[in-house]
């Protein structure tokens, strides 16, 4: 039959280009006509599902009218009404097949489906679909190939029809679902629970195999690739490959995850296994391992899946997720942690890390933490053992400034704003915390070497015997600290080295502004511990030059009279002598002492002035 119209009275419900029906005339011996095969090519129907669950066939040409708001009354035929179904009515699907129907094939057919329950409409296109029953009527095969809202899908399946009534326990079937460059927008009714995400850009390729045997859970094997995840209004990112097996035990409300394998090239590669139970509340237990993992990228992806509060059930408690993590090569805060182990509990919206143990730079970090991943809020307490200080600072400074083994106790809180373009900058900018640290058997290098300004200044007129200004080695450097207002405050800095000691206080901002004063005390037979030199670091880290406090220099010079004649031309705060608190006791001793201190021979007044001019130049 060609150019077919399906009518009820004058009401046209559907059209088809071609319908072919195969009839078995042998059924006439039993006074019935058996329809064996139906073939439909081309056509369209319109279905309308109401909120009460009933389904209507809508007048076909109603969809072609230009003004649906016109006075024309929509014509429909109800094809399913749940109110007519008795609860205890016994239903045997084999009744359907008594007419002898064996095969139904549909090609190039459109279904317009309007769902009032979710206020959605769907366009379904079946380009090659088939439904067949075995000769003995004990098996069913199904093929669906087509598009849903423009997205391609293929579904193949078979089911056993031997036992009726069909129950979940005796059900036997298998199915394969193939998605090829399918936009996740087709699952919009499910994914609406994630309001931060825009899955219209996300493309999914993969195969889902489903199998159910009698008295067995439903088994799922999933091989999939998802890419182009995005936030609302954001740019797409990510290319993730997933392999997993699931065993769904509906009667016991249990989902087993024998294995999950995830690969995000260059970002993460890991495995997991565990169990999900749901009854009064959801309980999830997972063991997670990883060969490498970029924390910031994974966090960015995870925040996409924040649940909406719209569907919250106040009578149902939040689910609890337990993770036991054994991770390798974790990249976070510009560092690579070779090993990171943690015990984690998650209850929306907080991740509670009861313990973590990280190995890094020949040392260890132990502690606990509390994280809100959806607001990027962090609360951390920890201890550091034997970490190489130069390695821990390397990502933040171009040149090394300190070496030695660091020990520390610390705690801090911080938050990174959702729209922040620079996670690390926001992480430190909003940090507040406190603690202490000690670095043993180290060396101050480069910009941190405070002996450089000392030797460049006082070294021109004072002999520092035994002091090598090229390096400052120390046995201990320690301080209490606090973190606030984007600054790291050293509250009581103390350094002990060979032939020198120092104490100080000050702060360094995370934007590398420095405001620090060190009081250097040098030992030895010549200078003695009376020499206490204040050194100032102020300005931009590595750009401003550390210097000796000029007020201190002025007071030192003014404190002595023996050099006053030599400084009369200098004037100002530097007029007077150079002994003061530094060399006053040596001045009172003898002129010979000055020869040793200043390493000068008997020279003229002009020669001394030349030295001082070069000193201040």
pLDDT, greater one: 104 or 331: 331
* Closest to 551 in 3D by CA, of 531, 535, 573: 573
Using a pLDDT cut of 90, give the percent of the chain over it: 33
pLDDT at 178 over 50: yes
Residues 6+ apart with CB under 8 A from 2: 17, 18
pLDDT at 586 over 80: no
**Which pLDDT band, with edges at 50, 70 and 90, does 10 fall under?**
low
pLDDT, greater one: 187 or 538: 538
Q: Give the position of tokens 């009726």.
A: 164
In this prediction, residue 478 carries a pLDDT of 95
* Boundaries of every domain in the chain: 406-548, 553-616
User: What is the full DSSP assignment across 402-462?
Assistant: EEEEEEEEEEEEEE--TT-S-HHHHHHHT-EEEEEEEEEEEEE-GGG-THHHHHHHGGGTS
What is the mean predicted confidence (pLDDT) over 583-605? Answer: 36
In this prediction, residue 14 carries a pLDDT of 65
Token duo for residue 48:
């309308």
pLDDT at 606 over 50: no
In this prediction, residue 256 carries a pLDDT of 94
In this prediction, residue 12 carries a pLDDT of 64
Token duo for residue 598:
């200043």
pLDDT, greater one: 259 or 424: 259
- Is residue 527 packed enough to be buried (19+ CB in 10 Å), middle (13-18) or exposed (0-12)? buried
How far is it, in rounded angstroms, from Cα 346 to Cα 288?
A: 14
How far is it, in rounded angstroms, from Cα 187 to Cα 192?
A: 9
For 126-152, write each residue's pLDDT tens digit: 888 888 887 666 788 889 898 888 888
In this prediction, residue 470 carries a pLDDT of 67
For 446-488, write each residue's pLDDT tens digit: 888 887 777 666 655 455 555 556 678 899 999 999 999 889 9
Pairing between β-strand 282-294 and β-strand 320-332 as defined by DSSP bridges: parallel
In this prediction, residue 7 carries a pLDDT of 66
How far is it, in rounded angstroms, from Cα 533 to Cα 163?
A: 96
What is the mean predicted confidence (pLDDT) over 419-433? Answer: 81
Q: Which of these ranges, 22-26, 70-74, 92-96, 586-590, has the smallest mean pLDDT? A: 586-590
198: left (phi over 0), alpha (psi -120 to 50) or beta: beta
In this prediction, residue 507 carries a pLDDT of 93
For 348-380, write each residue's pLDDT tens digit: 889 999 999 999 999 999 999 999 988 889 999
pLDDT at 177 over 60: yes
Q: How far is CA 326 from CA 335, 340, 381, in A?
A: 17, 6, 20
**Which pLDDT band, with edges at 50, 70 and 90, does 510 fall under?**
confident
What is the mean predicted confidence (pLDDT) over 4-21? Answer: 67
**Which pLDDT band, with edges at 50, 70 and 90, does 278 fall under?**
confident
Q: How far is CA 382 from CA 195, 270, 345, 412, 596, in A?
A: 35, 26, 18, 9, 51
Q: What letter would DSSP give residue 316?
A: S
**Which pLDDT band, with edges at 50, 70 and 90, does 400 fall under?**
confident
pLDDT at 71 over 70: no
**Which pLDDT band, with edges at 50, 70 and 90, does 418 fall under?**
low
pLDDT at 55 over 60: yes
How far is it, in rounded angstroms, from Cα 300 to Cα 537?
A: 38
| CB contact at 8 A, 408 and 435 | yes
pLDDT at 497 over 60: yes
**Geometric angle at alpha carbon 522, from 521 and 527, rounded to 5°:** 120
What is the mean predicted confidence (pLDDT) over 107-133? Answer: 84
How far is it, in rounded angstroms, from Cα 91 to Cα 426?
A: 64
**Which pLDDT band, with edges at 50, 70 and 90, does 19 fall under?**
confident
- The helix, strand and coil proportions of the chain, stated in percent and rounded to the nearest 5, come to 20, 50, 30
| CB contact at 8 A, 55 and 35 | no
Does residue 569 sit in helix, strand or coil?
Answer: coil
């Amino acid at each position: 039959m060609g150019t077919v119209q399906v009518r009820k009275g004058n009401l046209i419900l559907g059209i088809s280009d071609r319908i072919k029906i195969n009839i078995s005339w042998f059924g006439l011996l039993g006074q019935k006509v058996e329809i064996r095969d139906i073939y439909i090519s081309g056509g369209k129907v319109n279905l309308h599902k109401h909120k009460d669950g009933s389904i209507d066939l809508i007048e076909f040409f109603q969809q072609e009218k230009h003004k649906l708001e016109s006075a024309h009354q929509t014509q429909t035929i109800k094809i399913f009404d749940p109110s007519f179904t008795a609860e205890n009515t016994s239903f045997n699907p084999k009744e359907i097949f008594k007419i002898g129907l064996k095969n139904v094939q549909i090609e190039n057919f459109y279904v317009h489906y309007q769902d009032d329950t979710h206020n959605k409409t769907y366009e379904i296109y079946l380009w090659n679909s088939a439904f067949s029953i075995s000769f003995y009527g004990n098996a069913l095969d199904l093929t669906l190939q087509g598009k849903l809202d423009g997205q391609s899908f293929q579904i193949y399946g078979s089911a056993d029809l031997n036992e009726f009534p069909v129950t979940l326990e005796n059900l036997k079937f298998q199915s394969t679902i193939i998605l090829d460059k399918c936009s996740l927008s087709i699952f919009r009714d499910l994914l609406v629970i994630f309001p931060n995400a825009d899955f219209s850009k996300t493309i999914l390729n993969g195969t889902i195999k489903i199998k159910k045997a009698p008295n067995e859970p439903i088994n799922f094997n999933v091989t999939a690739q998802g890419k182009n995840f995005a936030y609302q209004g954001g740019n797409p990112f990510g290319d993730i490959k997933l392999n997993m097996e699931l065993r769904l035990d509906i009667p016991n409300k249990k989902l087993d995850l024998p294995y999950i394998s995830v690969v995000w090239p260059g970002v993460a590669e890991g495995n997991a296994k565990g169990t999900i139970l749901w009854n009064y509340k959801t309980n999830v237990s997972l063991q997670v391992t990883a060969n490498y993992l970029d924390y910031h990228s994974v966090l960015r992806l995870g925040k996409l899946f924040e649940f909406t509060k719209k569907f919250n059930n106040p009578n149902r408690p939040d689910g609890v997720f337990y993770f036991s993590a054994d991770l390798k090569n974790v990249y976070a805060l510009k560092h690579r942690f070779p090993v990171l182990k943690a015990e984690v509990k998650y209850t929306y919206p907080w991740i509670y890390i009861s313990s973590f143990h990280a190995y890094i730079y020949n040392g260890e970090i132990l502690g606990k933490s509390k994280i809100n991943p959806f607001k990027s809020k962090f609360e951390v307490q920890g201890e550091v053992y034997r970490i190489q200080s130069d390695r821990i600072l390397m990502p933040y400074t171009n040149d090394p400034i300190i070496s030695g083994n660091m020990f520390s106790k610390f705690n801090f809180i911080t938050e990174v704003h959702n729209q922040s373009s620079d996670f690390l900058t926001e992480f430190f900018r909003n940090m507040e915390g406190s603690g202490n640290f000690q670095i043993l058997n180290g060396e101050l290098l480069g910009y941190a070497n405070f002996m450089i300004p000392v030797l460049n200044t006082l070294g021109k007129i004072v002999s520092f015997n035994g002091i090598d200004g090229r390096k400052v080695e120390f046995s201990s450097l320690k301080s209490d600290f606090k973190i606030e207002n984007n600054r790291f405050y050293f509250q009581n800095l103390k350094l002990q080295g060979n032939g020198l000691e120092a104490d100080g206080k000050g702060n360094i901002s995370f934007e590398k502004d420095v405001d620090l004063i060190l009081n250097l005390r040098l030992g030895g037979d010549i200078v003695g511990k009376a020499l206490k030199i204040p050194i100032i670091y102020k300005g931009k880290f590595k750009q401003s030059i550390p210097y000796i406090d000029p007020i201190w220099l002025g007071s030192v010079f003014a404190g002595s009279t023996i050099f006053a004649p030599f400084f009369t031309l200098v004037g100002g705060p530097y007029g007077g002598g150079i002994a003061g608190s530094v060399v006053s006791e040596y001045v009172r001793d003898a002129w010979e002492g000055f020869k040793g201190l200043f390493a000068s021979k008997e020279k003229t007044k002009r020669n001394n002035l030349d030295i001082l001019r070069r000193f201040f130049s």
